[in-house]
Structure 1
Amino acid sequence: MRWVLYPIAALFALAILGAATLAAVSLYAWPNLPSLETLTDYRPRIPLRVYTSDGHLLGEFGEERRDVVRIADVPPVLKQAILAAEDERFYEHPGIDIFGIARAALANLSTGGRGQGASTITMQVARNFFLSREKTFNRKLYEILLALKIERSLSKDQILELYINQIYLGQRAYGFSVAARTYFGKPLEEITLPEAAMLAGLPKAPSAFNPVVNPARAAVRQQYVLRRMKEAGFIDAAALEDALAAPPVGREGAARTAAASVEERADNAYRPTVHGDYVAEMARQIAVEQFGEQAYELGIRIVTTITRKDQEAAYAALREGVTDYDRRHGYRGPEAFATLPEGAVSDEQLDEALGESHDYDDLLVAVVTEASTKEVKVYRRGEHIRIAGSGLRFAAPMLAAKAPQSRRIRRGAIVRIRDLGDKGWEITQLPQVQSALLSLDPNTGAVLALVGGFDFARSKFNHVTQAQRQPGSSFKPFIYSAALEREFWPGSILDDAPLYFPPGTTGSQAWEPKNYDGRFTGPITMRDALVRSKNMVSIRLLQAITPGYAQDYIGRFGFDSAKHPPYLTMALGAGTVTPWEMATGYAVFANGGYRIEPYIVKEIHDAEGRVLARTDPPVAGESAPRVIDERNAWLMDSMMRDVMSRGTGTRARTLKRSDIAGKTGTTNDYVDAWFAGYNPDVVAVSWMGFSQPRNMGRGETGGAAALPIWIDYMRAALESSPQRERPLPQGLSSSRASGRTDYYYAENPLPVAPTPEVPDWLREMFASDSQPVQEAPQEAIPPVAPAQQVQVPRMQMPAPVEERTPVIIRR
């Protein structure tokens, strides 16, 4: 028997020697273990998020999508699923599970592989926070020692909370809270048993088992977790049977899940519901400017002044206005052509033909598989669609046999389609023209809505803040306002007669400005000249008050005087402005004469919800400076209301409001179309043009292209706002010298001579039933490219990020 005892003794000695060696190594390694401060003071990388003022997500920025959730808020069904899948004895072992190690070893010996591991949740926390994933003896030893150290420092619930928030679960989702939104589109507290089981199955192989990348493997893993939950006693047989019989879980239907690209589905899973990309980008720039690259990790929450209702109304109005313009100018043809093999074509080949083409909101990309004048068949993302009847009307010219081959819709053509609901599908196209819309509260400067272009994904250039464009006649009210300060009044009669400036006067080429129709009215009141947008009168007004005075005066409204040279062309809007500046200027008329500063960030919060910064804007009538006389603002408002009732803005009569005022603007060769208008509660400015300035087409004036956008937005913005009339301020006297009752500064002498006598035909123009007037573009004003960057007013931030007391920011 002695020969039997020798091997046993040898093995025992080796075991003692191994244990001693392990103990020695552990004693040496223990002092070198890293500090647990990272765990005890847990600060995960939480992305920067931007919200509307009423709590809707506008944008998210950061490599890691993460929402930190407290263990008390984690649904019990998810805790049970995690324990069943990863560490059933978590609440019983000291950080390492001897029984689990033995069970895994036996299972692996019996299968001859390494199918089961023995890492506890605590060991996974140690690995995720401190170690790499390399499979070496040293790493495993440190993992075990760290697990023991963690268990000595933290409670079980604290460890599980760290695990639930830190673990990577695929599709840029870190933590189970974000994973629930990513895969199922719902908050963590609403997940079901099958969904909890699927989430709990992800840590083993998040890139392989997630339902976006591989729904089949995800389902297999889900079923395994459900069975483990039954074995662990967390659920009974009936619950298991119901969960296994439930339909496949996932954010989207099975067909779409199989068809859509991984990137598209991942992006859609956590995409904001409000179309506020330009706003979110402005807020992101402010955050990075103040916090650097850490802004993407600190969990900063920026609350903007935007409201969801206004932003969605602005987005819809702009898209509709641009689409209407685009349809007026006809179908240009397919975007591109793909070469398709003869005969039958597989969906995979068609997907390849679509290549890197992207959808832009409701303008979806598709490839044509069959085309005739009666019917077009297209394919997109696993779906074959038939388009006929009215859905072909817009594109019909490019279906005809006589259409140029390079623009004809034929097999292999890449086109845009749009779902019209009950009306079916239609062929459409991506507009080339751009547009912008900005609205704000004229009393505080708070921006209510901002859309910087047709589609942010297509062009990130923000036309609201960056596009320096000529304002055309929409700039005339500022010249008229200056004239009121030089003893003019709405009843002043000026001469709408031809003007000619020879080269000796201009210093270059001769300039002979014209009115739109080439005709001249003769004597006309200042009020009616603005209503009818008379160029000659604007020039004569500027001559009278001098360009130098006007250049200095417009600075009161926030304009950069250097961008408006003191020449007579300033009267026709030959300088350059942005919609941001125009809204600032028109707010002065809307609020009775006060200069406000537009701002877009209301508050900035840290990850714990503490207010780091808050904007305290100057308020009209309180802290904002008065920049023009109240009487001036009232008179300008009165004249611009007439623009809406009987002038170039008469389309807005569909709003059926008497408290709206504004002015159209169109530049030379129909390059820029503007409408700037307001009521006492909302100022809105709309603009349309090409990013690289060029002719938009005859007739595309401010009243035709920009005003409809403004009307559609204001219809929604003022829906629940009662009409407000502005009371007559003190210091105005009335007169009928112009043929109607009008007002002037009481201290000014009423100009009678040498004003021409008012003819009868001029009085008739004041009749309320006079015909609407269509504004024309200006003449001989060269367009200006939007190459200059505009500095948007920024918030001043407190220096220490950790500041706990809200900082009031005065502008």
Structure 2
Amino acid sequence: MDSSPRNPQDLRASLDSRPSVSSVDDSEPPGTRRRSKHPGPPSRSARRARKPAASRSPRRRRGGFPWRALRLFLVLFTWMLILGIGVVGWFAHDLPDPEAEARVTRRPSVTLLAADGREIAAFGDLHGETVRARDAPPALIRAILATEDRRFLEHFGVDVWGILRAMITNLRAGHVVQGGSTITQQVAKNLFLTQERTFRRKIQEVLLSIWLERSFTKEQILTLYINRVYLGAGTHGVDAAARRYFQVGVRDISIYQAALLAGLPKAPSRFNPVASPERAHSRTLEVLQNMVEAGWLTPEAAKAAAAEAPNAIPGIRRAAASTYFADWVLEQVDDYAGARDRDLIVQTTLDLAAQQAAEKAVTEVMDAEAGSLNAKQAALVALNFDGAVRAMVGGRDHGQAPFNRAAQARRQPGSAFKPFVFLAGLESGLAPESRLEDTPITVGTWSPGNYTKRYRGNVSMTEALALSLNTVSVRITEQAGRGHVVKVAKRLGVVGDLAPHPSIALGVFEISPLDLTTAYAPFANGGQAVAPYGIVTITDRDGALLYQRQPSGDRPVMTPEQIEAMNKMLEAVVSWGTGKGAALPGKVVRGKTGTTQEYRDAWFVGYTNATLAGVWVGNDDSTPHEKRHRRVLADAYLATVYGDAAVRGEGAR
């Protein structure tokens, strides 16, 4: 197979070399004869013309069926051609300028800065080199072609046979197991188009692919691909990925490492060795087998390459501090700054001292207690009262599990939802001193009980919240109205599938730690609803301002009387209630604990005079853990809230 790309000029030259054909015909129309000035004897046809009409045989006239069918075909063909041109024009009128996009040989970088201006993370191939396809290791190119597009050097941008083969394979399997996109189509999609799945976008992808094949050589297209493809862990391009995963430039990678990189485009977030070394190895073995099937690697060489696995990744560098926060912020950059056509600098809200205290708290507490608690994961988020995220810990180890439990995990809040129930009670006429019955209750067929399995009889509203009495929470919900409880929670910022079921009183729905903690902000900041945010400004490398966060304005959701009442009850929770492990002598701490059924989720959300924080402890698979969670949560919470404050000599009121 000729590996050199076909040049469109060669085809054009071959077309121009065809022999010319005369475009003018001087001959007389058939069946005609010029009249002579001296006519001779009448011709046979003339003699036939003088015969009576009845004696002449019928003849097919020029205006018969074949001519009418031909004219109809020509008309239809013309209109179909016009319609086709119009359709193509409609799909192509808003296409981006491919030449301008193709001139960019790397994805612009994004640098994140902490609140004090120190760099906390960088994404993109800022430190990666642009590599031409001809200079890349042959094993890498063969691995990519064997896995992504074996007919790359033969097709015109769209592999018709590949599409048919994928359709047959998928029909036999009963689900999608193979795609038909070529490398050229992937370049068109990733460089010029959005990721939306629509018929219009697919047609545009095909048009751009054909344009790329006519405008660039195969090597140029492959060069664009290897330098712009996303390969996981924030890397774009093969050199950046090689440096991230193997700590060497792409020119120095082995066959196994080349196969690993070639296998990443299918699912870079799942198959990269930072997220899952096991899945990365399994995918690499698939790529090595693809190379064998394509005839570009012998079975013996593939086996030898697979044996490199233990030494192929010399140890992934430990993720930098605040990586969970960096991932969360990066997902929002494009929404605020638009398409990334330049290097960006993002000023964030992260407080490095608070972040370090949060990470230390989660690590030390979970390392000491997780085994006995049977709880393997934790999440923590700390906010300013205006919603600015000061610290975020999405799990115990980002390198092993990059899933951000602080922002992405949705778990039942349990009793941590009760402050919103009690606020609804205040709005329905109750007060912290109001007396309610802590006795067994049944709503329909549902009979909830208390956490301790004991009942205290007549109690005040403050006692009920401090001791987290389920029966009283249900009674308040029924008195205030389930629909009203849902409205109050949403007004303060609780998001999720809140339905007016009786169990809403006990927090039986799902929410992320970030969203639940943010919804506590009105209790702490004087009754103003806020939204969590991590980006303050976005500029380019030249200092041009692309985005600046504007104050959200006043959004009062509580009256001063309600704020005072809620603070009084939440202070009691920490002073002598279920959250007393978070109490500090001479300091005011307010908050609420939360536990779900069978101790699947454990929460503490609380605040001092300056910081609001929420902690979650549990297991990703929702398996139960021990009930001694409150002390662990309190320790983590205190370390977070006061870790940086102690450095500055500050404290809570």
Normalising to structure 2: TM-score of the pair? 0.55
Alignment match, 1:709: 636
Residue 104 of structure 2 corresponds to residue 60 of structure 1: no
Q: Identify which of 625, 639, 653 aligns with 2:569.
A: 639
CA gap 1:573/1:65 in 2 versus in 1, 3 angstroms: same
Residue 372 of structure 2 corresponds to residue 328 of structure 1: yes
1:645-724 → structure 2 map (5 Å cutoff): 645-653=575-583, 655-697=584-626, 699-701=627-629, 703-719=630-646, 720=648, 722-723=650-651
CA gap 1:673/1:606 in 2 versus in 1, 3 angstroms: same
CA gap 1:263/1:49 in 2 versus in 1, 3 angstroms: farther
Contact 2:642 2:651 in 1 (8 A): no
Q: Report the alpha carbon displacement of residue 63 of structure 1 after superposing the two structures with TM.
A: 3.0
CA gap 1:518/1:723 in 2 versus in 1, 3 angstroms: same
Q: Report the alpha carbon displacement of residue 55 of structure 1 after superposing the two structures with TM.
A: 2.5
Contact 2:108 2:125 in 1 (8 A): no
1:238-637 → structure 2 map (5 Å cutoff): 264=314, 268=317, 274-289=320-335, 295=340, 298-329=342-373, 433-442=376-385, 444-501=386-443, 505=444, 510-560=445-495, 563-618=497-552, 623-637=553-567
- The one-letter code matched in structure 1 to 2:119 is L
DSSP-derived class of the 1:638 partner: helix
CA gap 1:680/1:264 in 2 versus in 1, 3 angstroms: farther
DSSP-derived class of the 2:549 partner: strand
CA gap 1:592/1:458 in 2 versus in 1, 3 angstroms: same
Identity of aligned residues (%): 29
CA gap 1:511/1:495 in 2 versus in 1, 3 angstroms: same
C-alpha distance in structure 2 between counterparts of 1:663 and 1:448, whole Å:
20
**Structure 1 residues 496-536: Cα deviation after superposition (integer angstroms, max 9, x where no partner):** 111134xxx2xxxx322111232211111111111111111
- The one-letter code matched in structure 2 to 1:645 is S
CA gap 1:313/1:264 in 2 versus in 1, 3 angstroms: farther
**Unaligned segments of structure 2, at least 5 residues:** 1-99, 130-216, 220-237, 254-309
DSSP-derived class of the 1:563 partner: coil
Contact 1:45 1:66 in 2 (8 A): no
**Structure 1 residues 252-304: Cα deviation after superposition (integer angstroms, max 9, x where no partner):** xxxxxxxx978557x64xx87x5111111122222345667x73x72211121
DSSP-derived class of the 1:686 partner: strand
Contact 2:589 2:652 in 1 (8 A): no
C-alpha distance in structure 1 between counterparts of 2:414 and 2:106, whole Å:
52
C-alpha distance in structure 2 between counterparts of 1:538 and 1:518, whole Å:
15
C-alpha distance in structure 2 between counterparts of 1:173 and 1:548, whole Å:
51
Which is worse superposed, 629-638 or 315-324? Answer: 315-324
DSSP-derived class of the 1:320 partner: helix
Which one has a larger percent strand, Structure 1 or Structure 2? 1
- The one-letter code matched in structure 1 to 2:455 is F
Contact 1:58 1:275 in 2 (8 A): yes
**Structure 1 residues 563-593: Cα deviation after superposition (integer angstroms, max 9, x where no partner):** 2221221111112221122112111000011
**Structure 1 residues 415-472: Cα deviation after superposition (integer angstroms, max 9, x where no partner):** xxxxxxxxxxxxxxxxx72211111111x21110111122222222221222221111
DSSP-derived class of the 2:326 partner: helix
- The one-letter code matched in structure 1 to 2:633 is A
CA gap 1:45/1:521 in 2 versus in 1, 3 angstroms: closer
DSSP-derived class of the 1:54 partner: coil
Contact 1:597 1:617 in 2 (8 A): no
Q: Report the alpha carbon displacement of residue 42 of structure 1 after superposing the two structures with TM.
A: 11
CA RMSD after TM alignment: 3.8
**Structure 1 residues 100-141: Cα deviation after superposition (integer angstroms, max 9, x where no partner):** xxxxxxxxxxxxxxxxxxxxxxxxxxxxxxxx9x9xxxxxxx
Alignment match, 1:49: 111
C-alpha distance in structure 2 between counterparts of 1:291 and 1:493, whole Å:
54
Q: Report the alpha carbon displacement of residue 714 of structure 1 after superposing the two structures with TM.
A: 1.4
Contact 2:380 2:613 in 1 (8 A): yes
**Structure 1 residues 535-560: Cα deviation after superposition (integer angstroms, max 9, x where no partner):** 11111111211112111121211123
Which one has a larger percent helix, Structure 1 or Structure 2? 2
**Structure 1 residues 296-329: Cα deviation after superposition (integer angstroms, max 9, x where no partner):** x722111211011111111111122322332315
C-alpha distance in structure 1 between counterparts of 2:123 and 2:419, whole Å:
41
DSSP-derived class of the 1:279 partner: helix
C-alpha distance in structure 2 between counterparts of 1:515 and 1:529, whole Å:
11
Matched residues, number? 396
DSSP-derived class of the 1:527 partner: helix
Contact 1:673 1:700 in 2 (8 A): no
Q: Report the alpha carbon displacement of residue 478 of structure 1 after superposing the two structures with TM.
A: 0.8
**Structure 1 residues 346-374: Cα deviation after superposition (integer angstroms, max 9, x where no partner):** xxxxxxxxxxxxxxxxxxxxxxxxxxxxx
Q: Report the alpha carbon displacement of residue 723 of structure 1 after superposing the two structures with TM.
A: 4.8
Contact 1:500 1:512 in 2 (8 A): yes
C-alpha distance in structure 1 between counterparts of 2:574 and 2:624, whole Å:
26
Contact 2:373 2:628 in 1 (8 A): no
C-alpha distance in structure 1 between counterparts of 2:106 and 2:623, whole Å:
50
CA gap 1:49/1:527 in 2 versus in 1, 3 angstroms: same
DSSP-derived class of the 1:648 partner: coil
C-alpha distance in structure 1 between counterparts of 2:373 and 2:462, whole Å:
35
DSSP-derived class of the 1:60 partner: strand
**Structure 1 residues 152-209: Cα deviation after superposition (integer angstroms, max 9, x where no partner):** xxxxxxxxxxxxxxxxxx97599xxx99xx99xxxxxxxxxxxxxxxxxx9xx9859x
C-alpha distance in structure 2 between counterparts of 1:290 and 1:466, whole Å:
20
- The one-letter code matched in structure 2 to 1:651 is G
C-alpha distance in structure 1 between counterparts of 2:359 and 2:651, whole Å:
24
Contact 1:657 1:723 in 2 (8 A): no
DSSP-derived class of the 2:353 partner: helix
CA gap 1:261/1:302 in 2 versus in 1, 3 angstroms: farther
C-alpha distance in structure 2 between counterparts of 1:630 and 1:261, whole Å:
64
**Which runs of structure 1 show a deviation greater than 6 angstroms over 4 or more consecutive aligned residues?**
41-45
C-alpha distance in structure 2 between counterparts of 1:570 and 1:45, whole Å:
47
- The one-letter code matched in structure 1 to 2:467 is R
CA gap 1:668/1:55 in 2 versus in 1, 3 angstroms: same
C-alpha distance in structure 1 between counterparts of 2:597 and 2:547, whole Å:
45
DSSP-derived class of the 1:58 partner: strand
Contact 1:514 1:535 in 2 (8 A): yes
DSSP-derived class of the 2:120 partner: strand
**Unaligned segments of structure 1, at least 5 residues:** 1-37, 68-131, 135-169, 184-201, 209-259, 331-431, 726-811
**Structure 1 residues 53-107: Cα deviation after superposition (integer angstroms, max 9, x where no partner):** 223332222234169xxxxxxxxxxxxxxxxxxxxxxxxxxxxxxxxxxxxxxxx
